[in-house]
Amino acid sequence: MYDREALRTLILQRALRFGQFTLASGKTSTYYLDGKQVTLDAEGAYLIGEGLLDLFEKTEMPDAVGGMSVGADPITSAVITMSAVRRTPIRGFLVRKQPKGHGTNKYVEGPVQPGAKVVIVEDVVTTGGSSLEAIDRVEEFGLKVIRVAAVVDRMEGGSEAFAERGIPFSSLFTIRDFGIDPPKQG
């Protein structure tokens, strides 16, 4: 079991900021979660890798994890590294926003083959747009998405968007774990 409270404290200390922000979804918010302040921290990466592996053990262990580059890359690295430490290796992959224009010209990179069961990982989910784009790319490649897993769910529609696609969603935290109520939907 990972130390959930230690990860919550890191997020509070390093990632959560208050003010006026425009999110990737285009929405405005009075708070911002800068996930890279935790995913690119050694202790944060360790805790996230352990936390997501614990989650997968309770649901379904994937063949591989990955997501939209650049945000998902440190999470992917954390999970695959900790899976090796646990002697339950999982492969990783990344999804490019654009094919690189040379070489194999692929959107999906990494040691995965069509048919593999995968989890899309994300630091913060708001509407789920980035993860939905990653899902489209990996399904085109032939991977089977069995879940989306995030560090923090802002509770602003992402879960519902994944449910519409028939894809389970889990997060280590919701915004409520940090004393913030999500905006009213509708």
Q: What is the pLDDT of residue 161?
A: 97
CATH code of the domain made up of 48-178: 3.40.50.2020
- Among 172, 147, 161, 186, smallest CA distance to 54 is for 172
pTM of the predicted model as reported, rounded to 2 decimal places:
0.94
For residue range 33-91, list pLDDT tens digits in order: 999 999 999 999 999 999 999 999 999 999 999 999 999 999 999 999 999 999 999 99
For residue range 151-171, list pLDDT tens digits in order: 999 999 999 999 999 999 999
Helix (H), strand (E) at residue 9: helix 4-10
Task: Supply φ then ψ for residue 162, to 5 degrees.
Answer: -70, -40
Task: Supply φ then ψ for residue 152, to 5 degrees.
Answer: -130, 135
